[in-house]
């Protein structure tokens, strides 16, 4: 049985992940914000390689121009120089505006750091929420009802045993799920056979928490 401290930690992490992701969607809208011809503002999903390719330059040039210590770690909202030239006054003003309105910086996923892949599920859906909370979840698992089979095909462990940090899958009509099923995140497991879960798109809410029986449910690890 998890301690109270572990429950609070898992719950706070899940909430923070959701809010950060929702903020990124609202501010950046999935589009790179170009500060000027000589600089670019990092958006969610960017890597130095993709930025270099889109701006006809190289990763080494960007690293040198910005004196980066780690080419695999850039942050949403960072303004990167493309050719080492100082940004114009207008660019600096735009960067200050971005800093004032953007959410707290989150590390951008890169292949070399084996970070999580960007979320491609429809924003606001239960699948989108779980992908934000648990980055290891695949992006091509389809509707919630089919996640168990998709996860197993992807090599994940799928069984009837809940664990904190696992995905809980509700089949159609189970636990309030609709025709396409429902998924959530197991926050903690209780000694009486129930689990505490967090979820999105339940009862019309972006974020929701409840305690349910683990009996008959599927769990992805």
Each residue's pLDDT tens digit, 89-126: 344 445 454 444 444 444 443 333 334 578 999 999 99
- Asked, for residue 172, whether it belongs to a domain, the answer is yes
- Cα 128 to chain centroid distance, Å, stands at 8
Residue 192 forms part of a structural domain: yes
pTM: 0.52
Q: What tens digit of pLDDT does each residue of 40-49 get?
A: 888 877 787 8
- Angle of CA points 32, 38, 42, to nearest 5°: 30
- What was the pLDDT predicted at 87? 37
**pLDDT for position 12:** 54
Between 221 and 91, the higher pLDDT residue? 221
The rounded percent of the chain whose pLDDT value lies above 70 is 68
Mean pLDDT computed over 53-71? 83
Structural domain for 80, as ranges: 31-101
Q: Identify the pLDDT of residue 28.
A: 34
What is the radius of gyration, based on Cα positions, of the chain?
A: 20
- Of 37-51, 53-67, 175-189, least confident by mean pLDDT is 37-51
Same domain, 133 and 189: yes
Asked whether residue 107 is assigned to any structural domain, the reply reads: no
User: Does the residue 152 lie in any domain?
Assistant: yes
Among 82-86, 95-99, 185-189, the range with the most confident prediction by mean pLDDT is 185-189
pLDDT value for 83: 65
Contacts of residue 111, Cβ cutoff 8 Å, sequence gap at least 6: 47
- The answer to whether residues 146 and 178 belong to one domain is yes
pLDDT at 79: 85
Please provide residue 26's backbone torsions phi and psi, each rounded to the nearest 5 degrees: -70, -40
CA distance linking residue 198 with residue 100, whole number of Å:
30
Indicate whether 24 pLDDT > 70: no
> Is 150 in the same domain as 199?
yes
Residue 111 within any structural domain of the chain: no
Same domain, yes or no: 150 and 197: yes
pLDDT, tens digit, 9 for 90 and up, residues 114-167:
345 789 999 999 999 999 999 999 999 999 999 999 999 999 999 999 999 999
In the structure encoding, which two tokens stand for residue 113, read together? 């750091």
User: Which is nearest to 42 in space by CA: 16, 22, 62, 57?
Assistant: 62
34 vs 11: CA distance, rounded Å = 35
Domain count of the chain? 2
Report the DSSP beta bridge partners of residue 170. 182
Residue 37 has pLDDT above 90, yes or no: no
Backbone phi, psi, residue 185, to 5°: -115, 130
Here the CATH number for the domain that contains residue 35 is 3.10.350.10
């Amino acid at each position: 049985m998890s301690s109270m401290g572990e429950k609070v930690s898992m719950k706070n992490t899940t909430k923070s992940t959701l809010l950060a992701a929702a903020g990124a969607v609202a501010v950046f809208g999935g589009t790179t914000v170009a500060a000027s011809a000589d600089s670019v503002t990092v958006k969610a999903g960017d890597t130095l390689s993709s930025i270099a390719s889109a701006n006809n330059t190289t990763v080494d040039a960007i690293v040198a121009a910005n004196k980066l210590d780690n080419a695999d770690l850039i942050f949403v909202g960072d303004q990167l120089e493309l050719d080492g030239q100082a940004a114009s006054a207008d660019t600096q003003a735009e960067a200050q505006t971005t800093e004032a309105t953007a959410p707290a910086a989150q590390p951008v996923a890169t292949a070399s750091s084996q970070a999580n892949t960007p979320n491609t599920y429809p924003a606001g859906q239960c699948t989108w929420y779980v992908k934000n909370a648990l980055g290891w979840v695949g992006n091509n698992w389809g509707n919630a009802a089919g996640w168990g089979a998709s996860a197993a095909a992807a090599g994940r462990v799928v069984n009837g045993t809940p664990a904190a940090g696992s995905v809980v899958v509700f089949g159609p009509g189970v636990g309030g799920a609709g025709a396409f099923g429902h998924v959530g995140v197991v926050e903690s497991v209780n000694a009486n056979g129930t689990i505490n879960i967090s979820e999105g798109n339940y009862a019309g809410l972006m974020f929701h928490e409840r305690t349910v029986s683990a009996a008959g449910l599927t769990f992805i690890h």
